[in-house]
Chains A and B, each alone.
Chain A
Amino acid sequence: MAEEVKPTKVIDARGSFCPGPLMELIKGYKQAKVGDVISLYSSDNGTKVDAPAWIKKSGNELIGVYDRDGYVEIVLKKVR
């Protein structure tokens, strides 16, 4: 559960169409350190598919995808 893993960094991309939540995530990921837990908030439903796909392809760890009140939270751990 996300509640148990305290994110090192929260990226609030709610209400953002350009550059968009996934771009915000990659940007934040690049600035983070290996071992950091990053939490992404997005109000765009597409992120539910896009973000896990990218996390998998980039060899990072998807901790969870959670439906919150009016937005989705995606939590990942930077492992490389």
Chain B
Amino acid sequence: MYSQKRALILGDGAAGTILANKLRFLTNKNELEIVVIGNSKKHYFKPDGVQIPFGLLDYRKSVKNSEFLFNAGVKYIQDEVVRIDVDQRFVTVKSGKSYSYDYLAIATGDRLTPEDVPGYEGEAKHFYNLQAALSLKEDLAKFNGGDIVIGQASPEIQCPPAPYEFTFLLDHYFRKRGIRNKINIHYTYPLNRVFTMPQVAVFVDKLFQERGIITHTMFNVETVDPKNKVVNSLEGESVKYDMLILVPPHRGQKVITDSGLAGESGYIDVDRHKLNYGKYDDVFVIGDATNLPVSKAGAAAHFQSGYLSHHIASEVGGAVYEDDYNGECACYTITGVNEAISLWFSYEKNAKANFKSKLDYIFKWTSADTYFSGMVRGIM
């Protein structure tokens, strides 16, 4: 006789959807019920946001209905999680219902909090959600000369390479329009180099120099001054702009802080190798919701979902899963149109960038197709 257990997954983005679908392949319905609660309606492939403002991709191929992305046998509930009680082992949603669980996986990602930087709202532009990326496309089309500052408003953001990818495309875009000589592109970065991984930073910096991009390092955004059109850093530097493109600050979801699972940052501390929360061996966190020292990336969410699906499936089958998650992540990052570099890293392995190639660009350009047809489905 089977006694059916329940895996409750919170969040219907990259991490939650991949985990649910992988877990469905690895377990049968009699032993494990898989329930996903999410409030997204549409599943947007965020990496395309780097290319959409330049008209390089049609955004319609970057968006699918969330409900169609779950494999048969996964129960999907569209609602908003408003409370998570890991001691009493239940979760409450906005419509009032509560759900108990045997395994809980929190995959609620994070949110953009432009209000954290004084002066940001109504002044700075970005490409970190679909609406902002589409509106930036219109703003760029109207921009004919002056200083553009591109950077990130907080040290921790989703997809750390996205600002440099965007900068390369910005350079290409204005060259194509024949007005690159009328524009100064300023790139700011929080560390004393242009990217967090030292060897990749050298590679990117060389390309920046070749393309005339002005860099401001050790620049942690403190305030934006819309009146004087300057952005100020906590290190005391100010840069003037005509257009300011700043990735907004991020925090974890409010429900995480409200439920006492994390402080004001909203990111949950988890065991780096087992991905469980605190003393709880039935509560796991994956994707951008964690405070792990790994990139906040769909690629990391993919590796974590792979690890966790095997961990839970083994336990459901009565075995102990001995393997560990090792911080692995692999991604393609754009360095121009028709060129990209691939990065592969883990907790113990630093990424290296040795060459750029068209093939890597093609992988990046088609990645929404690979993502929706294979990765999200739990096939890859």
B234 partner residues in chain A, CB cutoff 8 A: 58, 80
Q: Which residues of A contact B293 (CB under 8 A)?
A: 13, 15-16, 18-19, 24
* Chain B residues with CB under 8 A of A59: 235-236
- Cβ contacts B335-360/A at 8 Å (1 or 0 each): 00000000001111111000000000
Partner of A31, one of B196, B264, B295, B345: B264
**A68 in the interface, Cβ–Cβ < 8 Å?**
no
User: Is there an interface contact between B191 and A54, defined as CB atoms closer than 8 Å?
Assistant: yes
A57 to B191, CA, bound (A): 11
Check A46–B198 contact: CB distance below 8 A: yes
Contact yes or no, A18 B295, CB < 8 A: yes
By a CB distance below 8 angstroms, the chain A residues around B345 are 17-18
> Which one of B65-73, B102-110, B140-148, B152-160 is at the A interface?
B152-160
- Given A30-B154, A50-B191, A17-B265 contact (CB < 8 Å): no
Interface size class of A (residues with CB under 8 A): 20 to 34
**In the complex, A16→B327 CA distance in Å?**
9
Contacts of A19 in B (CB 8 A): 155-156, 160, 196, 293-295
Q: How far is the CA of A65 from the CA of B234 in the complex (A)?
A: 23
Distance of A59 Cα from B156 Cα, bound (Å):
21
Name the distance in Å between A15's Cβ and chain B's nearest Cβ: 5
Give which listed residue, A15, A18, A53, contacts B192 with CB less than 8 A: A53
- Tell me, rounded to whole Å, the shortest Cβ–Cβ distance linking A26 to chain B: 4
A31: which B residues are within 8 A, CB to CB?
263-265
B295: chain A residues at CB < 8 Å are 18-19
A8-41 contact mask (Cβ, 8 Å, vs B): 1 or 0: 0000010111111011101100110000000000
Interface contact tally, CB-CB below 8 A: 77
Interface of B is mostly: loop
With A23-B155, A26-B155, A54-B218: A18-B197 Cβ-Cβ less than 8 Å: yes
Query: In the docked arrangement, what's the CA distance between A17 and B191, Å?
Result: 14
Chain A neighbourhood of B263, CB < 8 A: 31
B220 touches A (CB below 8 Å): yes
8 Å CB interface, B188-217 against A: 190-192, 196-198
Task: Looking at the assembled complex, report how far the CB atom of A18 sits from the nearest CB atom of chain B, in whole angstroms.
Answer: 5
Q: Contact: B348 with A15, CB < 8 Å?
A: yes
Task: List B residues at the A interface (Cβ < 8 Å).
Answer: 154-156, 160, 190-192, 196-198, 218, 220, 234-236, 263-265, 272, 293-295, 327, 329, 345-351
Question: A residues bordering B, Cβ < 8 Å?
Answer: 13, 15-20, 22-24, 26-27, 30-31, 46, 50, 53-54, 57-59, 80
* Given A17-B350, A18-B197, A18-B345; 9 other pairs, CB 8 A cutoff: A15-B347, A17-B197, A17-B345, A18-B351, A19-B294, A23-B191, A26-B220, A31-B263, A50-B191
